[in-house]
Amino acid sequence: MMRAICCCAASAILAACASTIHLRPPLSEEQVARLRKETENKPVVFASQAGGPELALSDFLPASDAVHGMTGEGPRTIPLRELASLRWRNSWSGAKAGMLTGVLGGAAAGALIANANCHSVETGLCNGLVQGFGAGVGAFVGLALGLVVGAAIGADDRVEFDRSAVTKSSD
């Protein structure tokens, strides 16, 4: 039962930490600047409005009405009206998700380990004090491990383009 609760909590936290930006083309100068900063030196994967396989772009350079980059076949420019979404890996997003998941998992594991190793049940110390200490230590260790592992793995950040805006602008 405890495992199911921890899995649900971790899933909710990861969903809450997901970084998705919703944009309507054409992009403003501020939106282009933010997208350039977020994707600097990172490969970007895009999905087209028409479906089909995703395509990775390196040397990604967004503009107000298109994105430019390099594919395995050479340079490519893709109009924003053809894009459904963009995504890239971000260490900071992974670190945030890792810290939150690590704190919860570490606290639960610390409390369970402390309770399993407590031999003074008759004094009542195991009911709160030892479990609380174990949860605190576990949360601290989980926070540190989650930060390191999450940053190393990273998490996806994404931009989703509003289809209705694309349809309206092409009329």
CATH of domain 18-89+155-169: 2.30.30
Side chain identity at residue 45, one-letter code:
V
What is the pLDDT of the chain when averaged over all its residues? Answer: 79
Q: Is residue 1 predicted with pLDDT exceeding 60?
A: no
- Find out whether the peptide bond into 26 is cis, omega within 30 degrees of 0: yes
**Contact between 86 and 51 (Cβ < 8 Å):** no
Round to whole Å and give the CA distance between 19 and 94: 10
Q: What pTM did the predictor assign?
A: 0.59
Rounded Cα distance, 100 and 106, in Å? 10
Q: Which two three-digit tokens encode residue 170? A: 């092409």
pLDDT number for residue 166 = 43
Alpha-carbon gap, residue 167 to 81, rounded angstroms: 8
- CA-to-CA distance for 124 and 134, rounded, in angstroms? 15
What amino acid occupies position 165?
A: A
Per residue in 39-81, pLDDT (tens digit) is 888 888 888 887 777 888 888 888 889 999 888 888 989 898 8
Boundaries of CATH 2.30.30 in the chain?
A: 18-89+155-169
Distance CA 112, CA 162 (A): 46
